[in-house]
């Protein structure tokens, strides 16, 4: 709404004024779109009537707003996310940095973790379908011979992607989202459990602001019982090299301040320092056989900066 103000003089007195306001013109509405009014505000200072007065002339003029189309577009994009999940099946949703390349030890561990969990749970692996650790878990699941799905976005790690097309997953296995809200709906829905046979999970790998946003959003949805899952879903925080230790310490401080109740946040997730610990927890959670068979899958990445030659991951 536009606003024009004109002063009749520039004299200002350090007195508390009595304000009298009146419309010099009755507001009119034309077609429920525009509102035009001339408003005269006269400030009369508390002393004699001969004291200077100051008038403010305000003209309020409405502006036509174009009809917003984004709500309908977001709805359509969310529906596409749900359709993709319906085709590929719910599974394990990974959250993590887009900045760690194949040479980073967390990339290696994430690759091995996704490979092991995909084999253990026999479920679809979901991610943001981007670079960094998202790329690691996609490659890990594919090497395990399990399906992958993703919700790609146009900007990752502070950079716009060159194309909406992923370099290697099948085109029908991911969706490039225009809206963050639709992408968030997709990532949450891909991890919920509708029936007891669903083996799903949320896994937080090391990451930055975007990862933390997703971690705390999912935590809040679980805490408030608004995540939309009929059954509880395991939530793992991978504390590689104590990456999240200071954040966990901050949450302990919050308990001391009383902003969260004791144990309120830690009850929402399971902190795992190694891949073996994560696999053992998921096997116990879903009542699956011992994870000994997956030990060789995960131990390659534990504490190493390279991947063994038996893995097909490209570390160049």
Average pLDDT over residues 152-179: 75
| Residue ranges of domains in the chain | 2-61, 70-298
SS3 at position 266? helix
Lowest mean pLDDT among 31-40, 48-57, 179-188, 285-294: 31-40
Confidence of residue 162 (pLDDT cuts 50, 70, 90): low
Give this prediction's pTM: 0.73
pLDDT of 315 above 80: no
- Compute the average pLDDT of residues 225-251: 96
Tell me the pLDDT band of 159, cut-offs 50, 70 and 90: low
Q: Is it the case that residue 181 has pLDDT exceeding 80? A: yes
Across 242-262, average pLDDT: 96
Residue 248 has pLDDT above 90, yes or no: yes
Task: State mean pLDDT over 118-143.
Answer: 96
Q: Which residues pair with 23 in a beta bridge?
A: 39
**Predicted confidence (pLDDT) at residue 29 exceeds the cutoff of 90:** no
Q: Which of 149, 165, 152, 145 is nearest to 86 (CA)?
A: 149
**Cβ neighbourhood burial of 158 (10 Å; 0-12, 13-18, 19+):** exposed
pLDDT, position 25: 43
What CATH class is the domain 70-298?
alpha beta
The predicted pLDDT at position 302 comes to 57
Of residues 128 and 289, more confidence is placed in: 128
Q: SS3 for 34-73, per residue?
A: EEEEEEEEEEECCCCCCCCCEEEEEEEECCCCCCCCHHHH
Radius of gyration of the chain (CA): 29
The residue ranking higher by pLDDT, 3 or 211, is 211
Closest CA to 158 of 188, 127, 130: 130
Greater confidence, 29 or 100? 100
> pLDDT tens-digit profile of 258-286?
999 999 999 999 999 999 999 999 999 99
**Mean of pLDDT values over 93-98:** 97
Model confidence at 198: pLDDT above 50 = yes
Task: Supply the mean pLDDT for the chain.
Answer: 79
């Amino acid at each position: 709404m536009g606003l024009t103000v004109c002063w009749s003089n520039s004299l200002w007195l350090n007195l508390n004024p009595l304000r009298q306001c009146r419309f010099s013109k009755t507001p009119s509405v034309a077609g429920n779109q525009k509102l035009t009014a001339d408003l005269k505000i006269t400030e009369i200072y508390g002393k004699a009537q001969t004291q200077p007065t100051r008038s403010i002339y305000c003209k309020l003029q409405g502006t036509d707003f174009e009809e917003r189309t984004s709500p309908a577009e977001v709805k359509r994009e969310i529906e596409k996310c749900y359709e993709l999940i319906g085709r590929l099946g719910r599974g394990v949703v990974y959250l993590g940095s887009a900045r760690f390349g194949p040479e980073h030890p967390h990339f290696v561990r994430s690759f091995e973790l996704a490979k092991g969990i995909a084999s253990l749970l026999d479920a679809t692996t979901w991610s943001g379908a981007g670079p960094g650790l998202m790329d690691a878990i996609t490659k890990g699941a594919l090497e395990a011979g399990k399906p992958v799905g993703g919700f790609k976005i146009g900007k990752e790690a502070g950079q716009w992607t060159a194309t909406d097309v992923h370099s290697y997953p099948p085109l029908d296995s991911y969706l490039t989202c225009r809206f963050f809200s639709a992408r968030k709906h997709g990532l949450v829905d891909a991890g919920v459990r509708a029936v007891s046979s669903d083996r799903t999970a949320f896994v937080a790998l090391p990451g930055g602001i975007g990862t933390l946003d997703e971690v705390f959003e999912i935590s809040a949805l679980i805490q408030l019982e608004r995540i939309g899952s009929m059954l509880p879903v395991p939530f793992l925080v991978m504390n590689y090299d104590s990456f999240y230790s200071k954040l966990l310490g901050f949450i302990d401080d919050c308990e001391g301040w009383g902003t969260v109740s004791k144990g309120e946040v830690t009850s929402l997730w399971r902190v795992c320092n190694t891949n073996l610990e994560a696999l053992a927890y998921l096997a116990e959670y879903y009542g699956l056989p011992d994870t000994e068979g997956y030990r060789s899958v995960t131990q390659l990445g534990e504490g190493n900066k390279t991947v063994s030659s038996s893995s097909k991951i490209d570390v160049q």
